């Protein structure tokens, strides 16, 4: 199992240099050359380059970045750019590294994007709890202003823009783009209804607004320096370039790895880069793409880290968060941890999410505390079904944003795959009468029927 040698597009500098966050190191290592290249093109050409590169947004939804920029209605001004650095999805750890250790790369990406879109101002919204990232980004912005890369008449051209550093105060929901905008307007971070409040049309201050992820921005300087073709040459299918994956949990060497997108497999990451399962134990399950994604199992290890392939198998790559669980894991408690997260972080606006996630947590607490009743299983699934009808994948929505419907997948995964673990807590068998749908919510395959790389048909 050898991984392709690929350029480290977003982590190359920080991997090689401890002082990658300083402007001196940044300028000495191709820094702001992507911005210079962009200013030599028209804004439309820069958008075209990003489209040709097929850069997918790295926030979780995976929408093509260049296409998203094009959604702003023509001739409506001002337009704003908001960068989402509110990384808080359980298992996700990538944007913080980029903000703390190579902040100028993020800033340069913002300058390139705002030039292409034609923005009047850019806002970099960093998660509140990341004090070091605040200091690194604040210092980097001060350096970049002093050097003439940000502000008025950038590099002596007619391109002018301010980047305002903004920081949150602890609310996962603010990672949802319309909630991010509400928060940036100084309000409670509750999502807005779409339509009409699609950010491209009615975003910040109800003006056309592009909301992009930090890692998405960090890719832009490299693309502008090396061209769309060089980026597109990496990866496969719709998943081009490289991508950051945080592999955590029961592996020998947990870590954040930048690997070729689309071709690297889960096995390459878990058993190659991360050295396999701790104590050479057996793999029980792994979360492929953050707290919202249906779990994967041994038979999924040879799937490529490719958006469509993982989607076809019934889950998602999401925010690049892979959490590995070995055979000793109490999956009922693991599932409770995920449900508790959504219950804690529900903003309270929509009833199915506010009430449903709370009930789910209470039922799971009761089961884990040994007070559960066999009928609790169908009650739990019935609540899931009310939050997200038919418990399928991708989840059906009853709510303004996807937070609530993100809670059922972990429970559905465990109930289908490991019913005996619930039975151990309940001290009784149960029969599930509430149907669970979705390709990945599969029971354990028969011992001889494990098909590497595919799902059971």
Partner 1 sequence: MARLNPENTELARELIGHYPRPKSALIPLLHLAQEQDGYVTDEAMVHIAELVGVTPAEVLGTCTFYEMFKREPVGKYLVNICQGIACTIMGAEELIGHAEDALGIKVGSTTPDGTITLERAECQAACTEAPCLQVNYRYRYRVTDEDFDGLVAQLRSGALDAEIPPHGTLARRPYRQHMPADRRNGPGFIDGAGEPVWIKRHREAAEAQGSTS
Q: Which of 33, 226, 238, 337 binds partner 1 (CB under 8 A)?
A: 337
Quickly tell me which residue has 């040994």 as its tokens.
370
CB of 160 to partner 1, least distance (A): 4
Which pair of tokens denotes residue 76? 């409506």
186 or 431: CB nearest partner 1: 186
Q: Is 293 in the site for partner 1 (CB under 8 A)?
A: no
- Give exposure, 414-445, as e/b (b: 16+ Cβ within 10 Å): bbbbbbebbeebbeeebeeebebebbbbbebe
Segment near partner 1 (CB under 8 A); pick from 48-56, 132-140, 305-313, 353-361? 132-140
Q: Is 291 in the site for partner 1 (CB under 8 A)?
A: yes
CA-CA distances (angstroms) from residue 373 to 387, 409, 430? Answer: 22, 22, 9
What's the CA gap between 285 and 231, in Å, rounded? Answer: 32
CB of 15 to partner 1, least distance (A): 15
Judging by beta carbons within 10 Å of its beta carbon (0-12, 13-18, 19+), is residue 162 exposed, middle or buried? Answer: middle
CA-CA distances (angstroms) from residue 335 to 265, 339, 384, 438? Answer: 25, 6, 13, 18
Q: Is 369 in the site for partner 1 (CB under 8 A)?
A: no
Q: Is 296 in the site for partner 1 (CB under 8 A)?
A: no
Quickly tell me which residue has 């820094």 as its tokens.
31
21 or 68: CB nearest partner 1: 21
Q: Which of 48, 227, 254, 419 binds partner 1 (CB under 8 A)?
A: 254
Number of residues binding to partner 1, judged by CB under 8 A: 88
What does the DSSP assignment read for 192-224? PPTTT--TTTS-GGGS-EEEEEHHHHHHHHHHH
* Sites for partner 1 among residues 84-113 (CB under 8 A): 87-93, 95-96
Contact between 332 and 421 (Cβ < 8 Å): yes
CB of 204 to partner 1, least distance (A): 9
210 or 309: CB nearest partner 1: 210
46 or 363: CB nearest partner 1: 46
Segment near partner 1 (CB under 8 A); pick from 25-33, 231-239, 334-342, 388-396? 334-342
**Site map (CB under 8 A) of partner 1, residues 188-227, x = contact:** xx---------------x-x--------------------
Sheet of 255-260, strand order: 255-260, 242-249, 321-326, 283-287
Nearest to 260 by CA among 234, 237, 238: 234
What is the CA angle 382-383-389, rounded to 5? 75
Q: Which of 136, 192, 202, 300 binds partner 1 (CB under 8 A)?
A: 136
* Sites for partner 1 among residues 40-79 (CB under 8 A): 42-44, 75, 77-78
Q: Is 137 in the site for partner 1 (CB under 8 A)?
A: yes
């Amino acid at each position: 199992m050898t991984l392709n040698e690929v350029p480290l597009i977003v982590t190359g500098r920080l991997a090689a240099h401890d002082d990658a966050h300083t402007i001196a190191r940044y300028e000495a290592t191709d820094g702001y050359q992507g911005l210079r290249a962009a200013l030599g093109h028209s804004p439309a050409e820069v958008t075209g380059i990003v489209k040709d590169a097929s850069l997918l947004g790295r926030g979780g939804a995976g929408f093509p970045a260049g296409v998203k920029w094009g959604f702003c209605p023509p001739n409506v001004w001002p337009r704003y750019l908001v960068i989402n650095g509110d990384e808080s999805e359980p298992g996700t750890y990538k944007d913080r590294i980029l903000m703390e250790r190579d902040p100028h790369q993020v800033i340069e990406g913002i300058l390139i994007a705002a030039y292409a879109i034609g923005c009047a101002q850019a806002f970099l919204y960093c998660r509140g709890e990341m004090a070091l990232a605040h200091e690194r980004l604040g210092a980097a912005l001060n350096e970049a202003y002093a050097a003439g890369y940000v502000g008025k008449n950038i590099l002596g051209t007619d391109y002018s823009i301010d980047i305002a550093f903004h920081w949150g105060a602890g609310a996962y929901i603010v990672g949802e783009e319309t909630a991010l905008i509400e928060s940036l307007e100084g309000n409670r971070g509750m999502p807005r209804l779409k339509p009409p409040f699609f950010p491209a049309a009615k975003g910040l201050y109800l003006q056309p607004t592009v909301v992009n992820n930090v890692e998405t921005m960090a890719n832009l300087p490299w693309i502008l320096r090396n061209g769309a073709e060089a980026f597109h040459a990496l990866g496969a299918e719709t998943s081009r370039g490289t991508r950051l994956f945080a592999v955590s949990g029961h592996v020998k060497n947990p870590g954040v790895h930048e690997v070729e997108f689309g071709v690297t497999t889960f096995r390459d990451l878990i058993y190659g880069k991360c050295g396999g399962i701790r104590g050479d134990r057996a793999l029980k399950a792994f979360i492929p793409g953050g707290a919202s994604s249906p779990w994967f199992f041994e038979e999924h290890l040879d799937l490529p880290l490719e958006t469509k392939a993982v989607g076809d198998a019934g889950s998602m790559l999401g925010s690049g968060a892979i959490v590995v669980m070995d055979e000793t894991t109490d999956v009922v408690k693991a599932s409770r941890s995920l449900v508790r997260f959504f219950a804690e972080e529900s903003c309270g606006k929509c009833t199915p999410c506010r009430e449903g996630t709370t009930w789910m947590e209470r039922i799971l607490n009761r089961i884990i505390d040994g007070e559960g009743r066999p009928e609790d299983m169908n009650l739990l699934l019935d609540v899931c079904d009310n939050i997200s009808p038919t418990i399928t994948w991708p989840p059906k929505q009853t709510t303004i944003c996807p937070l609530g419907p993100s809670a059922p997948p972990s429970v559905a995964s465990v109930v289908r795959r490991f019913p005996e673990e619930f039975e151990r807590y309940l001290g009784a068998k149960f029969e599930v009468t509430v149907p669970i749908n979705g390709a990945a919510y599969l029971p354990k395959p028969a011992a001889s029927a494990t098909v590497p790389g595919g799902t059971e048909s």
